């Protein structure tokens, strides 16, 4: 009975506590297994498919993490934090008020480009008009890059919400954003059973009231229909203020800024940092307004952080 192996999907994480559900449940399976990783060997994320070895009726250990299509995570010089694995799409939630961080927006776009994940921006609280123009202005460089931007009001405009359903159906999307932008409101509008599911996860994970630091996987409502035989899901991640990308190398950074790509290799110096050098093709691109000054500034900041992390980690193995 016990000590059998099965394939499962990681559906909730809170610190090092995880819940996984069987991919092809048998009648005798529990709805969730409490999952432990053996030591620090496995860094798992919600959305991961796992090979489990059961240890009791509702507990199991992770044998393997099945190959991922992608892993969204953030990192600084010392630590990394997984957000979600195997996602089709990032839904970045921004609001008119309180104002959002343009820096976080820029970093989310780079993380998405690097992992090859589609990015969709949801500008929420457009019922609050005072800061709407300012928000649109901050979004202009991203609109220019072809990233889809949807203006919505999770609280007051149901049509704006339901018109997004076709973009979610059949896909696994992860909600990211600073706290206060309206992620929970969105989730509860789209998935009416979300708060009940959250309570169930919290009891099993024993999160107490620290529910907002957990990451969770919710199936989309069956009424939205399947696409390619899949219902799709929404992953809710904790709000965060920092989005470190110290794990990206210089070359990875250059390629994640998609509008830089046509200029790469055209600078006068082969080791050009695109910050001040004469004959820099990318700085020329900025002066010809093909590249936004915001983006070159972000590039320089990320490059600085990446180099700093390389230096720091020479004495640290823990990244």
Print the binding letters for residues 211-240 with ligand GDP: x by CB under 6 A, - otherwise: ----------------------------x-
Task: Assign 69 to helix, strand or coil.
Answer: coil
List 7's β-bridge partners, or say none. 51
Residue count, binding to Zn ion (CB under 5 A)? 5
Q: How far is the CB of 240 from ligand GDP (least distance, A)?
A: 11
Stretch that binds Zn ion, among 146-154, 190-198, 266-274, 306-314 (CB under 5 A): 266-274
Q: How far is the CB of 74 from ligand GDP (least distance, A)?
A: 17
The answer, yes or no, to whether the previous bond of 241 is cis (omega within 30 of 0) is no
Residue count, binding to ligand GDP (CB under 6 A)? 17
Query: Phi and psi at residue 4, in whole multiples of 5°?
Result: -105, 165
In order, the DSSP letters of 115-165 are HT-EEEEEEE-TT--TTHHHHHHHHHHHHHTT--EEE-BTTTBHHHHHTTH
Query: Phi and psi at residue 316, in whole multiples of 5°?
Result: -130, 130
Q: 10 Å Cβ neighbour count for 239?
A: 17
Stretch that binds ligand GDP, among 82-90, 100-108, 125-133, 241-249 (CB under 6 A): 125-133
- Contact flag: residue 237 with Mg ion (CB under 5 A): no
Alpha-carbon span 94 to 179, nearest angstrom = 10
Q: Which residues are CB-neighbours of 276 under 8 A, at least 6 positions away?
A: none
Alpha-carbon span 246 to 112, nearest angstrom = 15
- Site for Mg ion, residues 125 to 184, rule: CB under 5 A: 183-184
Options 20, 272, 296, 302; binder of Zn ion; rule CB under 5 A: 272
Q: How far is the CB of 100 from ligand GDP (least distance, A)?
A: 11
Options 54, 82, 86, 124; binder of ligand GDP; rule CB under 6 A: 124
Give the binding site for Zn ion (CB under 5 A): 267, 272, 274, 280, 282
Q: Given the rule CB under 6 A, which residues bind ligand GDP? A: 124-125, 127-128, 153-156, 177, 179-185, 239
**Binding region for Mg ion (CB under 5 A):** 183-184
């Amino acid at each position: 009975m016990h000590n059998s192996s099965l394939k499962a999907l990681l559906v909730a994480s809170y610190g090092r506590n995880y819940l996984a559900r069987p991919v092809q449940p048998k009648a005798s399976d529990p709805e969730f297994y409490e999952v432990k990783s053996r030591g620090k060997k496995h860094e798992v994320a919600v959305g991961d498919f796992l090979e489990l070895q059961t240890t009791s009726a509702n507990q199991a250990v992770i044998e393997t993490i099945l190959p991922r299509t992608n892993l969204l995570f953030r990192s600084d010089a010392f630590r990394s934090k997984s957000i979600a694995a195997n996602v089709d799409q990032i839904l970045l939630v921004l609001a008119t008020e309180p104002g959002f961080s343009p820096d976080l927006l820029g970093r989310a776009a780079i993380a998405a480009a690097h992992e090859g994940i589609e990015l969709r921006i949801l500008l929420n609280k457009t019922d609050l008009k005072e800061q709407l123009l300012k928000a649109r202005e901050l979004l202009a460089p991203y609109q220019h890059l072809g990233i889809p931007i949807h203006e919505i009001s999770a609280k007051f405009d149901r049509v704006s919400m339901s018109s997004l359903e076709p973009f979610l159906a059949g896909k696994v999307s992860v909600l990211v954003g600073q706290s206060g932008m309206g992620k929970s409101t969105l989730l509860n509008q789209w998935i009416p059973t979300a708060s009940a599911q959250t309570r169930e996860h919290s009891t099993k994970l024993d999160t107490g009231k620290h529910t907002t630091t957990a990451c969770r996987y919710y199936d989309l409502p069956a009424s939205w229909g399947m696409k390619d035989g899949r219902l799709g899901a929404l992953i809710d991640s904790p709000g965060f203020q920092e989005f470190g990308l110290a794990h990206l190398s210089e070359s990875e950074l250059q390629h994640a800024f998609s509008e830089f790509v046509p200029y790469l290799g055209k600078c006068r110096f082969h080791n050009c940092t695109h910050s001040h050098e004469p004959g820099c093709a990318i700085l020329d691109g900025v002066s010809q307004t093909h590249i936004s000054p915001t983006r070159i500034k972000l590039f320089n900041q990320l490059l600085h952080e990446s180099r700093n992390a390389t230096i720091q980690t020479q004495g640290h193995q823990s990244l």
